[in-house]
Amino acid sequence: MSIVTSAPADCRSPSSNAIRVSLAARLSNYRELSKPRIVTMVLVTTGVGYISGCRGSIDPVVFLATMFGTAAFAASASVLNQSMEWRRDARMRRTLGRPIPSGRTTVAESVVVGLVLLATGSLSLLGFAPVPAFLCAAATWLLYLAAYTPLKPISSINTVVGAVPGALPPVIGWAAATGSVGVEAIALFLILFLWQFPHFLAIAWLHREDYRRGGYRMITHRDPSGWITSLQSLGYASVLLPVSILPFRLGMAGSIYLVAALALSLHYWVRCLDFVRRRDDRSARRMLYASLYYLPLIYLFLILNPLPA
């Protein structure tokens, strides 16, 4: 089955049919464009990186500036990403109601909002946080928009490329707390990097037809049986098992974290194994649900069971 490459006849430029809206409606559109749930996750992972790095000695100015600046960078990337992908969003059921394809705002207005957010985040990080934190945030933004977004309709390797900026927020937090990127930050990066694959492969499987309509090259397009998708999920979960204990090995967390990390990672692995065996929507959804509570729980134990510096 070929990938759709032409837009529907009614997929016109939103600039031609966007209506005048009130200030409240505009702000609501901007909020939706910024993807607040993703920004919240970015803030959680950034905060974990900062708290792990500062070892209890929190500088409130640096911390708040880091959180605010990182949130602005993440929101900017989301807004500009949708400005680039609105035509494909208009083809997909799960995205056609977004502000740009639905005509509630224009591409030009969204680009302006995205650039203002970028400038705001840059000023916050450059003004009050160490330079390495800004560089990590800028690298995250650039990789997301200049590498991951253009690759989505070209190659299924986009999942691997996109996992890199997706795993950088805790590094931003660590760099803000310590002024550098050490091996501990790399450990936090690797946990988040590996966690993403079963999570996003589950989404790709569950929405495989929608992604096909949108013209995105996902691994599920050439894997109707689900073998490749499920085996990749299991492979990444298998590597995550030993990687998840790195914070314990590096002296960042204690034995309570060790037990929790192993238990959570093993459960995640079992859900991935179930997906290999069944390769259906139900097992994929269970794998997705396991991913949703894995990350907050492992981070919770990391924060609650630190070791003194």
Residues 171 and 83 in one domain: yes
Evaluate if residue 241 carries a pLDDT over 90: yes
At 309, the pLDDT band (50, 70, 90 cuts) reads: low
pLDDT value of residue 14: 52
**CATH number of domain containing 91:** 1.10.357.140
Tell whether 113 and 46 lie within a shared domain: yes
41, 172: one domain: yes
Residues 177 and 226 in one domain: no
Q: Give this prediction's pTM.
A: 0.89
pLDDT 10s digits, 18-58: 445 688 889 999 999 999 999 999 999 999 999 999 987 89
**113-126 pLDDT tens trace:** 999 999 999 999 99
**Mean pLDDT calculated for residue range 78-100:** 92
Average the pLDDT over 165-174 and give the result. Answer: 98
Predicted pLDDT of residue 1: 32
Residue keyed to tokens 């760099």: 175
Same domain, 102 and 227: no
Q: How far is CA 295 from the centre of its chain?
A: 12
Q: Is the pLDDT of residue 213 over 90?
A: no
Q: DSSP letter string over 94-160?
A: TTTTSTTTTTSS-HHHHHHHHHHHHHHHHHHHHHHS-HHHHHHHHHHHHHIIIIIHHHTTT-TTHHH
* Percentage above 90 pLDDT, the chain: 81
Residue 306 β-bridge partners: 253
Pair (219, 153) in one structural domain: no
Task: For residue 282, give its domain range.
Answer: 187-309
| 150 and 195 belong to one structural domain | no
Q: Would you say residue 4 has pLDDT above 80?
A: no
Of 181, 216, 232, which one is at a domain's C-terminal end? Answer: 181
- Rounded to the nearest integer, the mean pLDDT of the chain is 91
Residues 106, 115 contacting (CB under 8 angstroms): no
* Helix or strand holding residue 32 (H, E): helix 23-33
Burial class of 302 by CB neighbour count within 10 A (0 to 12, 13 to 18, 19+): buried
Q: Does a structural domain hold residue 222?
A: yes
